[in-house]
């Protein structure tokens, strides 16, 4: 608004020019486009009074061209010049003079001076307006820079990729002062949102469904950012029907195709989404594009890892049908204990792989020994004792599993030092190995073997309690008991995971026994 710039100028300068160029002490008054006084050399009271009277009388400030205009006011004459900036009227320069000038050329000098000054003021306003527009633009760039730096830092600080989107959206909702920020990628079934509510939204789930469905389809075909502020926007016939939210939706591209959307929502009573909001939204959507590509790559790698591990386990368990599902059950139990013990993320990750792959070394045990129904001879048992070391030899080739290997290698060590392969005792046994040992013991007791049927949960718990301090770490055992008491059902879930083939002969064995 150029007329807002009038008060920023110093008009006393113009007053001096006027006096110098006309040689008279005319008092300058500056009015805005409606004729209201903005500045006066006489002080506001004097000039304000006659201007008010003039405006109150319905004076319309008629202009014939952009030169000086005259209007008779009783004994005086009002002389005024419009100030035009970019073709728009932004105000008037006015002088009230006695009706009979001393010399005929005085009017001409006054007209010339007023017109020059009006031109100069208009130029100044224009320049000021351009500067302000530039500062505005700069301010948007600052906003952008701030966000980009902040995203950068946040991404660097993220330990794992899981909460990346949630954390980012939360900070963006705060920064953009939006009620809801959401990232939706239907192809990967991803729908992450964060809220910063100025007023409650009762049907947030429905709102997310709306985004996932119609809004995504709309953005997918339009390929443009969507800004919808008005309640009667015609597009509401297709998107956000009956939902009065203000919407800013930016498509997220990958290889020139829209694969996801970033959505910001505001309650109707909040301010409209502006042009600079839209620009910021596009910057964020751009970042989301590369982040989500990274995220899918990570997810793919991690899926590949797990499938490789599953294949490896399958190879071990194919040798002995009685141990089917054993690695997975031990893994679930060990992870539950690990989480209850509040292991840091890095160690939990090691436990994840260590527990899953702890028995990989059994691949090297002859089938005749592994599946033998009945007691093993001393020689046969030596084969069994080698398997943790064998697990280590297999897994050490994988850099990613460096931290996980000790858990697998030492899961047969006993707390009192009588275990194998190294006869470690107490805290010399890696913590993960002590956790895996408890989980392994539980699953071995409750599982059926070629030579005996699986025993009950109660028997297993009693046996584990008996071994606490001798074979098993009492601290880990205590935590295992706490977890079992707190949630009696979770162990039962793993029993369901047992292979029915493995339990059928066990039932017969019970009868035979």
Partner 1 sequence: MSARHILLVDDEPHVLRVLRLSLEREGYTVTTASDGHAALACMAQQLPDVLISDIQMDGMDGRTLCPLARATYPDHPFLILVMTSMTALDERTWARAVPDTEFLEKPLSPRQLVARLSRHFAALPVMPGLPPEPVHAP
Is residue 282 a contact point for partner 1 (CB under 8 A)?
no
Query: Could you tell me which stretch among 130-138, 187-195, 234-242, 281-289 binds partner 1 (CB under 8 A)?
Result: 130-138
Nearest residue (CB) to partner 1, 78 versus 180: 180
**Choice from 135, 231, 310, 385 touching partner 1 (CB under 8 A):** 135
Give me the phi and psi of 178, to 5 degrees please: -105, 145
Whether the Cβ atoms of residue 144 and residue 285 lie closer than 8 Å to each other: no
Is residue 268 a contact point for partner 1 (CB under 8 A)?
no
Nearest residue (CB) to partner 1, 103 versus 199: 199
User: Whole-number minimum distance, CB 152 to partner 1, in Å?
Assistant: 9
Length of the chain: 513
Nearest residue (CB) to partner 1, 39 versus 92: 39
**Choice from 198, 222, 241, 307 touching partner 1 (CB under 8 A):** 198
Count the Cβ atoms, other than its own, within 10 Å of residue 418: 11
Nearest residue (CB) to partner 1, 276 versus 305: 276
Is residue 253 exposed (0-12), middle (13-18) or buried (19+ Cβ within 10 Å)?
middle
Distances (CA, A) of 369 to 133, 375, 509: 84, 10, 19
Which residues 6+ apart lie within 8 Å of 25 measured at CB? 19
β-pair partners for 72: 77
β-pair partners for 449: 452
Number of residues that bind partner 1 (CB under 8 A): 19
Sheet holding 246-254, edge to edge: 190-195, 180-185, 257-266, 246-254, 226-228
Query: Could you tell me which stretch among 96-104, 140-148, 214-222, 232-240 binds partner 1 (CB under 8 A)?
Result: 140-148
Is residue 136 a contact point for partner 1 (CB under 8 A)?
yes
Nearest residue (CB) to partner 1, 44 versus 136: 136
Nearest residue (CB) to partner 1, 150 versus 190: 150
Distance CA 236, CA 231 (A): 8
Distance CA 216, CA 206 (A): 14
Query: Could you tell me which stretch among 118-126, 128-136, 157-165, 402-410 binds partner 1 (CB under 8 A)?
Result: 128-136
324 three-state secondary structure: coil
Is residue 146 a contact point for partner 1 (CB under 8 A)?
yes
Which of 1, 265, 284, 18 has the alpha carbon at shortest distance from 126? 1
Distance CA 107, CA 128 (A): 31
User: Whole-number minimum distance, CB 285 to partner 1, in Å?
Assistant: 18
User: Whole-number minimum distance, CB 174 to partner 1, in Å?
Assistant: 9
Is residue 175 a contact point for partner 1 (CB under 8 A)?
yes
φ/ψ bin of 350: left (φ > 0), alpha (ψ from -120 to 50), beta (otherwise): alpha
Is residue 496 a contact point for partner 1 (CB under 8 A)?
no
**Choice from 255, 269, 342, 489 touching partner 1 (CB under 8 A):** 269
Query: Could you tell me which stretch among 22-30, 111-119, 133-141, 383-391 binds partner 1 (CB under 8 A)?
Result: 133-141
Maximal C-alpha separation, the chain: 137
Is residue 145 a contact point for partner 1 (CB under 8 A)?
yes
Q: Which helix (H) or strand (E) holds 88?
A: strand 88-98
Nearest residue (CB) to partner 1, 55 versus 276: 276
Question: Per-residue string for binding with partner 1, 331-350, x by CB under 8 A?
Answer: --------------------
Nearest residue (CB) to partner 1, 72 versus 269: 269
User: What is the pairing mode between strands 190-195 and 180-185?
Assistant: antiparallel
Query: Could you tell me which stretch among 41-49, 134-142, 435-443, 463-471 binds partner 1 (CB under 8 A)?
Result: 134-142
DSSP per-residue string spanning 163-220: THHHHHHHHHHHHTT-SEEEEEEGGGTEEEEEE--SS--TTHHHHHHHIIIIIHHHHH
Nearest residue (CB) to partner 1, 125 versus 464: 125
**Choice from 23, 86, 149, 238 touching partner 1 (CB under 8 A):** 149
**Choice from 49, 98, 138, 492 touching partner 1 (CB under 8 A):** 138
Is residue 275 a contact point for partner 1 (CB under 8 A)?
no
Is residue 143 a contact point for partner 1 (CB under 8 A)?
yes
Is residue 132 a contact point for partner 1 (CB under 8 A)?
yes
User: Whole-number minimum distance, CB 45 to partner 1, in Å?
Assistant: 18
Distance CA 407, CA 401 (A): 10
**Choice from 199, 237, 311, 511 touching partner 1 (CB under 8 A):** 199
Is residue 177 a contact point for partner 1 (CB under 8 A)?
yes
Distance CA 38, CA 44 (A): 9
User: Whole-number minimum distance, CB 142 to partner 1, in Å?
Assistant: 6
Q: Write a three-state SS string for 423-484.
A: CCCHHHCCHHHHHHHHHHHHHHHHCCECCECCCCHHHHHHHHHHHECCCECHHHHHHHHHHH
Looking only at residues 152 through 171 of this chain, which bind partner 1 when binding is defined by CB under 8 A? 153
User: Whole-number minimum distance, CB 359 to partner 1, in Å?
Assistant: 46
Is residue 499 a contact point for partner 1 (CB under 8 A)?
no
Peptide bond into 421 cis (omega under 30): yes
Is residue 304 a contact point for partner 1 (CB under 8 A)?
no
Nearest residue (CB) to partner 1, 143 versus 349: 143
Which of 380, 379, 408, 403 has the alpha carbon at shortest distance from 392? 408
- Which stretches of the chain bind partner 1, using CB under 8 A? 131-132, 135-136, 138-139, 142-143, 145-147, 149-150, 153, 175, 177, 198-199, 269
């Amino acid at each position: 608004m150029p007329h807002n710039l009038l008060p920023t100028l110093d008009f006393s300068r113009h007053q001096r020019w006027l006096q110098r160029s006309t040689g008279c002490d005319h008092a300058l008054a500056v009015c805005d486009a409606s004729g209201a006084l903005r500045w006066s050399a006489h002080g506001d009271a004097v000039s304000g009074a006659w201007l008010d009277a003039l405006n109150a009388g319905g004076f319309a400030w008629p202009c014939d061209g952009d030169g000086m205009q005259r209007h008779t006011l009783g004994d005086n004459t009002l002389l005024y010049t419009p100030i035009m900036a970019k073709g728009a009227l932004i105000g008037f320069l006015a002088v009230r003079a006695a009706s009979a000038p001393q010399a005929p050329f005085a009017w001409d000098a006054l007209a010339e001076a007023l017109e020059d000054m009006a031109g100069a003021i208009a130029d100044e306003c224009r320049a000021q307006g351009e500067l302000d527009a530039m500062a505005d633009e700069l301010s948007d760039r600052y906003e952008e820079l701030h966000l980009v730096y902040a995203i950068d830092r946040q991404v660097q600080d993220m330990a794992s990729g899981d909460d990346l989107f949630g954390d980012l959206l939360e900070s963006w909702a705060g920064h953009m002062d939006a009620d809801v920020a959401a990232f939706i990628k239907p192809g990967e079934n991803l729908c992450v949102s964060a809220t910063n509510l100025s007023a409650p939204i009762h049907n947030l789930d429905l709102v997310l469904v709306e985004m996932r469905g119609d809004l995504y389809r709309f953005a997918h075909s339009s390929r443009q950012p969507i800004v919808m502020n008005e309640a009667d926007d015609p597009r509401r016939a297709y998107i956000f029907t009956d939902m009065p939210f203000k919407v800013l939706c930016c498509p997220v591209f990958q290889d020139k195709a829209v694969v996801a959307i970033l959505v910001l929502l505001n309650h109707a009573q909040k301010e409209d989404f502006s042009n600079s909001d839209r620009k910021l939204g596009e910057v964020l959507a751009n970042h989301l594009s590369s982040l989500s590509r990274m995220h899918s790559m990570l997810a793919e790698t991690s899926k590949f890892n797990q499938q490789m591990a599953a294949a490896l386990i399958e190879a071990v368990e194919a040798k002995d049908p009685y141990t089917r599902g054993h690695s997975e059950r031990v893994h679930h139990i060990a992870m539950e204990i690990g989480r209850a013990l509040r292991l840091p993320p890095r160690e939990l990750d090691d436990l994840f792989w260590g527990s899953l792959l702890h028995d990989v070394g059994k691949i090297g045990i002859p089938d005749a020994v592994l599946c033998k129904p009945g007691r093993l001879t001393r020689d046969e048992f030596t084969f069994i004792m080698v398997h943790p070391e064998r697990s280590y030899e297999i897994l050490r080739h994988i850099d990613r599993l460096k931290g996980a290997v000790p858990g697998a290698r030492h899961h047969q060590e006993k707390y009192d030092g009588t275990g194998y392969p190294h006869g470690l005792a107490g805290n010399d046994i890696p913590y993960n190995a002590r956790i895996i040992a408890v989980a392994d013991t539980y699953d071995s007791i409750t599982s059926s073997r070629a030579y005996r049927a699986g025993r009950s949960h109660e028997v297993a718990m009693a046996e584990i309690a008996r071994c606490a301090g001798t074979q098993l770490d009492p601290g880990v055992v205590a935590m295992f008991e706490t977890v079992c008491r707190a949630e009696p059902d979770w162990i039962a879930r793993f029993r369901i995971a047992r292979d029915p083939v493995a339990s059928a002969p066990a039932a017969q064995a019970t009868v035979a026994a």
